[in-house]
Amino acid sequence: MKFLTSYVWLLAILQVSFAGQVISTNTQPIVVPSLKSWTGGKGEFLLKSGARIVVSSNYKQENDKNSRMENPADLKQVANMLAEDIVALSSLSLKVVIGIPAPDDLYLQLGHQANQTSDEAYTMKISSNSIVVSGKTSRGIYYGTRSLLQIMIQSKNKRTLPVGSIEDWPTYQIRGFFLDDARKFFPVSFLQDYARFMGWFKLNTFHLHLNDNDFLANATDPTWKTKYAGFRLKTNNPKLSGLARGENEWYTKEQFQSIQKVAKANALTILPEFDSPAHSLAFVQFKPEIGSYPVLDNSYLNLNKSETYDFMMSVWDEFAPWFDSKTLHIGADEYPSSQAAQFRDYVDTIARYIWEKHGKKPQVWGTGIEFDKNQTLSIDTNITISHWANWEDNPKNVTNNGYKIINVNDGGPVSSYIVPKSGGGGDKIDSVQYLAQYSPPIFGTGYNLESQKQLDNVLGGMFAVWFDNLGPSTTRWETHSIVGDTMAAISEILWNGSQNTTDPKVFFSNVQTVTQGPVNLKLEISSKSDTLLNFTFDGAHGNVLKDASGNRYDAKISGAKWVGKHFAQALEFSGKSSVVKVDLGTKGFNSTLFMTLDISSTHPSTILSSDEGAIKISQSEISISNDNYTYSIQFNTTLVKKADIAITSAAYPVGSKLYLDGKYLANFTYFIPRTSRTVSMGLVTPLDYIGKGFSGRISAFQVYDRILSSDEIAGLSKEVS
Ligand SMILES: *[C@@H]1O[C@H](CO)[C@@H](O)[C@H](O)[C@H]1NC(C)=O
Ligand SMILES: *[C@@H]1O[C@H](CO)[C@@H](O)[C@H](O)[C@H]1NC(C)=O
Ligand SMILES: *[C@@H]1O[C@H](CO)[C@@H](O)[C@H](O)[C@H]1NC(C)=O
Ligand SMILES: *[C@@H]1O[C@H](CO)[C@@H](O)[C@H](O)[C@H]1NC(C)=O
Ligand SMILES: *[C@@H]1O[C@H](CO)[C@@H](O)[C@H](O)[C@H]1NC(C)=O
Ligand SMILES: *[C@@H]1O[C@H](CO)[C@@H](O)[C@H](O)[C@H]1NC(C)=O
Ligand SMILES: *[C@@H]1O[C@H](CO)[C@@H](O)[C@H](O)[C@H]1NC(C)=O
Ligand SMILES: *[C@@H]1O[C@H](CO)[C@@H](O)[C@H](O)[C@H]1NC(C)=O
Ligand SMILES: *[C@@H]1O[C@H](CO)[C@@H](O)[C@H](O)[C@H]1NC(C)=O
Ligand SMILES: *[C@@H]1O[C@H](CO)[C@@H](O)[C@H](O)[C@H]1NC(C)=O
Ligand SMILES: *[C@@H]1O[C@H](CO)[C@@H](O)[C@H](O)[C@H]1NC(C)=O
Ligand SMILES: *[C@@H]1O[C@H](CO)[C@@H](O)[C@H](O)[C@H]1NC(C)=O
């Protein structure tokens, strides 16, 4: 039997030998994505509770000049991040100390030249009583800690690694992900978790689009004053503090720095973008005199006015000092060709200003050079091109002319663009196709980079998520469900090189074991079976609402009382002061909520809540709020008698569905004004409190860790009636 198993795994190793590394041990195969080489030995290392994380005494590293950040994390910060991740993944709390390792310690050693050509390289030597991760930079060592964690969490006790050694380095120097934070706001904690998630996949660039707007219909569209526009930074400077757009949808300097701090500890650069002179409605709403109305619509800056230049320079003066990145993205996307000359002058001027005044490298979208048939700007070639459309710039020409290019192509064999809820192919990236066909030099027939000079100028790649359909169309949890697998695929390609010989099915099933990383972006709640919660309404435990699921998630009752004839059968709630504290946070997709209620509330009243939002109910409607937006369904009848409410929660495109008395009633949806499409919404379930508003009785409350079929829901309804 044993022989057979390892034989099967040998075949598997052959199959996936280009997709990360399969580390075969006596007991089980271990899969590490984005890893170049592994040499196995005999025995294993056990991480003991008394072990320490030791950093070499030269941990400060003052001269990491090739870092893309002004002040990259030192090795101690990387060690602290590792300690935090070990707590999250292995429930071990290790001390971080500076000095010389003792047996059983994890040693992070700065200074060793792992690979002459890559600063991000590292080596790792695992013996039965020591682990040494070394590299030239703390960034390289950070990547070593990712491999370490990914190997470790695949052991049964989550604390064991096989003896062996690793030499590892990335193929591409820019490995990124782009997020349109401007048309959909993402809170600080989510971006921090995303920084950790991206670091987990050894990506190093998080491109944040910080201003943008809904589309205007035409040059004289009078709705420009009220159309949605986002600008995400809120300064104290009274001259520019009003620039932050969207109610509470911005970051203060301290908040933005707290995002950069987590990014930095994960060897990740936040690449900030202010997009102008197009996509600029947020600037024009703040300062109407710089708009182009009525020649062009007011999302375009008027480049005939010197005050436009002055204002945008003052914006950069204010915010450039906030950023860690040595590169600033100045947008320069999609200005009308009727104003090509003005556009070129503007882009040149701002790019030069970023370079000369702020000492930062400018980066632009490909339109920046679109109107120049010579495909060159007057500014020096240090400018980097984010390439997204072959009709905007020709990758062959720009690289021939010495520009550096990043492949974020909305085209080629597989597009790197996602516009959630746009319908059809743009909704997500087919990550199986992507793994097989995406590669930084590949832009599509006639545009692929071939000569050495062209190849030398391709820095790497990213994929992008754009919210053309605005924030309420897509929650951040839906966003993550769309992005997750593609993150794994691009990481594999950018770290290990082209993956077109990998079997994608094997790859994606393998990475399932490590996809979550140290953060809980899928909002999982651990459960012994697929019944997550099953409260018992017999009133036998006073103020304790007993959970019969086997998980012992007993909850605490206050201000609600047991009612029933001979023995209690329901818990009665009377408004805000009646509450059951469940304290489980928020449950993510692929779950089912089932409740039996007698509803007295005639106005929407909170029945479930958490930090994420609330479910509200009345006799005539139910709503769920996620991401500060409320999605409602009218019952179109008045629920005066006992009602069974079930909600199944699945990611887009299936979405969340409402069942009443065991029968499907409706989908939770959102109407997108721009496209006049109604799209399904996948909504997550708040599980910290029951009550806090609701008036009426609850006599059943269950949560399942999967989607129940309509027959099962009908069955539950029969069971409780
Ligand atoms: C070092 O890294 C480069 C890519 O950056 C790679 O081509 C080369 O093979 C590596 N060399 C060694 C000795 O690992
Ligand atoms: C421009 O768009 C607005 C808003 O949709 C519309 O009311 C107006 O008629 C349009 N004007 C022209 C000239 O098309
Ligand atoms: C800027 O001036 C030029 C030349 O007069 C004109 O063609 C163009 O339409 C003007 N642009 C705007 C936005 O007013
Ligand atoms: C393009 O290059 C040619 C030849 O060097 C030059 O004469 C012309 O002015 C350039 N055009 C632009 C728009 O820079
Ligand atoms: C740009 O590239 C295309 C395709 O390689 C080539 O035909 C064209 O001459 C180039 N244009 C310039 C200005 O170099
Ligand atoms: C590029 O940047 C370097 C400094 O990093 C500078 O010395 C050089 O002049 C710039 N221009 C070109 C064309 O390399
Ligand atoms: C894989 O990519 C390489 C380099 O781009 C290419 O030469 C080769 O034809 C591709 N193979 C397949 C099976 O697509
Ligand atoms: C829930 O608990 C009740 C007992 O209170 C039990 O009869 C029922 O089978 C349980 N349901 C599930 C799905 O565990
Ligand atoms: C939900 O279940 C589907 C089908 O089993 C699976 O493909 C998907 O990855 C799951 N989603 C989440 C967020 O767990
Ligand atoms: C919701 O709004 C509050 C305050 O208005 C804000 O602090 C929070 O970050 C927002 N949450 C989301 C998910 O947008
Ligand atoms: C309630 O009525 C409205 C208006 O007719 C309809 O759009 C909606 O679908 C109905 N809701 C349900 C749950 O049937
Ligand atoms: C509800 O959503 C499903 C997709 O899960 C879709 O097939 C169905 O048409 C939707 N029903 C309505 C009434 O929108």
Q: Which of 249, 273, 334, 572 is catalytic?
A: 334
Please report the pLDDT score of residue 20 as a whole number: 64
Cα–Cα distance for residue pair 368/351, rounded to 1 Å = 10
> What's the gap in Å between 401 CA and the centre of ligand 10?
45
Q: Are 192 and 259 in contact (CB under 8 A)?
A: yes
With a 6 Å cutoff on the Cβ, whether 640 touches ligand 8 is no
What's the pLDDT tens digit per position in 179-204? 999 999 999 999 999 999 999 999 99
> What's the gap in Å between 578 CA and the centre of ligand 4?
75
- What is the position in ligand 3's atom list of the atom closest to the CA of 303? 13
Please report the pLDDT score of residue 18 as a whole number: 37
Q: Which ligand is nearest to the CA of 113?
A: 1
Q: Are 506 and 16 in contact (CB under 8 A)?
A: yes
Please report the pLDDT score of residue 337 as a whole number: 84
**Class of the CATH domain delimited by 39-168:** alpha beta
> What's the gap in Å between 652 CA and the centre of ligand 9?
11
Q: Are 632 and 658 in contact (CB under 8 A)?
A: no
- What is the position in ligand 7's atom list of the atom closest to the CA of 439? 5
Please report the pLDDT score of residue 376 as a whole number: 54
Question: Would you state the structure tokens that stand for residue 171, as one six-digit string?
Answer: 């193929």
- What is the position in ligand 8's atom list of the atom closest to the CA of 549? 14
pTM flag (> 0.85): yes
Per CATH, is 531-720 categorized as 2.60.120.200?
A: yes
With a 6 Å cutoff on the Cβ, whether 634 touches ligand 11 is yes
Q: Which ligand is nearest to the CA of 668?
A: 12
Please report the pLDDT score of residue 378 as a whole number: 54
> What's the gap in Å between 142 CA and the centre of ligand 10?
32
Cα–Cα distance for residue pair 196/78, rounded to 1 Å = 12
Please report the pLDDT score of residue 2 as a whole number: 26
Q: Which CATH superfamily is domain 174-514 in?
A: Glycosidases (3.20.20.80)
Cα–Cα distance for residue pair 626/478, rounded to 1 Å = 11
With a 6 Å cutoff on the Cβ, whether 707 touches ligand 12 is no
Domain layout of the chain by residue ranges: 39-168, 174-514, 531-720
Which residue lies with its CA nearest to atom 13 of ligand 10? Answer: 627
Cα–Cα distance for residue pair 396/441, rounded to 1 Å = 10
What's the pLDDT tens digit per position in 247-301? 899 999 999 999 999 999 999 999 999 999 999 999 999 999 999 999 999 999 9
CB atoms within 10 A of CB 70: 13
- What is the position in ligand 2's atom list of the atom closest to the CA of 217? 2
> What's the gap in Å between 297 CA and the centre of ligand 8?
61
What's the pLDDT tens digit per position in 141-175? 999 999 999 999 989 999 999 999 999 999 999 99
CB atoms within 10 A of CB 520: 14
With a 6 Å cutoff on the Cβ, whether 374 touches ligand 5 is yes
Q: Could you tell me the CA-to-CA distances from 412 to 369, 435, 476, 503 in Å, in that order?
A: 20, 14, 28, 21
What's the pLDDT tens digit per position in 202-213? 999 999 999 999
Kindly give the pairing relationship between strand 458-465 and strand 404-407.
parallel
Q: What percent of the chain has pLDDT over 90?
A: 81
Containing H/E element for 362? strand 361-365
Please report the pLDDT score of residue 82 as a whole number: 98
Which residue lies with its CA nearest to atom 2 of ligand 3? Answer: 304
pLDDT higher than threshold 70 for residue 536: yes
- What is the position in ligand 5's atom list of the atom closest to the CA of 374? 13
Cα–Cα distance for residue pair 223/232, rounded to 1 Å = 21
Higher pLDDT, 578 or 336: 578
Please report the pLDDT score of residue 14 as a whole number: 31
With a 6 Å cutoff on the Cβ, whether 531 touches ligand 8 is yes
Q: Which residues line ligand 6 (CB under 6 A)?
A: 380-382
Quote the strand ranges of 245-325, DSSP E. Answer: 251-252, 269-276
Confidence category of residue 609, pLDDT binned at 50, 70, 90: very high
> What's the gap in Å between 589 CA and the centre of ligand 9?
7
What's the pLDDT tens digit per position in 638-666? 999 999 999 999 999 999 999 999 999 99
> What's the gap in Å between 500 CA and the centre of ligand 7?
6
Please report the pLDDT score of residue 11 as a whole number: 30
Which residue lies with its CA nearest to atom 3 of ligand 2? Answer: 221
What's the pLDDT tens digit per position in 108-134? 999 877 667 799 999 999 999 999 999
With a 6 Å cutoff on the Cβ, whether 117 touches ligand 4 is no
Q: Which ligand is nearest to the CA of 399?
A: 5
Question: Would you state the structure tokens that stand for residue 699, as one six-digit string?
Answer: 């006599």
> What's the gap in Å between 219 CA and the centre of ligand 2?
8
Confidence category of residue 3, pLDDT binned at 50, 70, 90: very low
For residue 359, is it left (φ>0), alpha (ψ between -120 and 50) or beta? left
Which residue lies with its CA nearest to atom 1 of ligand 11? Answer: 636
With a 6 Å cutoff on the Cβ, whether 684 touches ligand 9 is no
Residue 334 bears catalytic tag: yes
For 143, phi then psi, to 5°, come to -65, -30
For residues 18-24, give the mean pLDDT: 62
Please report the pLDDT score of residue 377 as a whole number: 53
Please report the pLDDT score of residue 565 as a whole number: 75
With a 6 Å cutoff on the Cβ, whether 500 touches ligand 7 is yes
Cα–Cα distance for residue pair 216/220, rounded to 1 Å = 9
- What is the position in ligand 12's atom list of the atom closest to the CA of 669? 14
Question: Would you state the structure tokens that stand for residue 3, as one six-digit string?
Answer: 């022989």
Please report the pLDDT score of residue 501 as a whole number: 72
Q: Could you tell me the CA-to-CA distances from 449 to 366, 405, 440, 499 in Å, in that order?
A: 16, 11, 9, 17
Q: Which ligand is nearest to the CA of 478?
A: 9
For residues 623-652, give the mean pLDDT: 97
Q: Are 261 and 267 in contact (CB under 8 A)?
A: no
Token pair 């690289």 is at which residue? 399
Which residue lies with its CA nearest to atom 8 of ligand 3? Answer: 339
Kindly give the pairing relationship between strand 37-46 and strand 122-127.
unpaired
Cα–Cα distance for residue pair 154/156, rounded to 1 Å = 7
> What's the gap in Å between 113 CA and the centre of ligand 1?
12
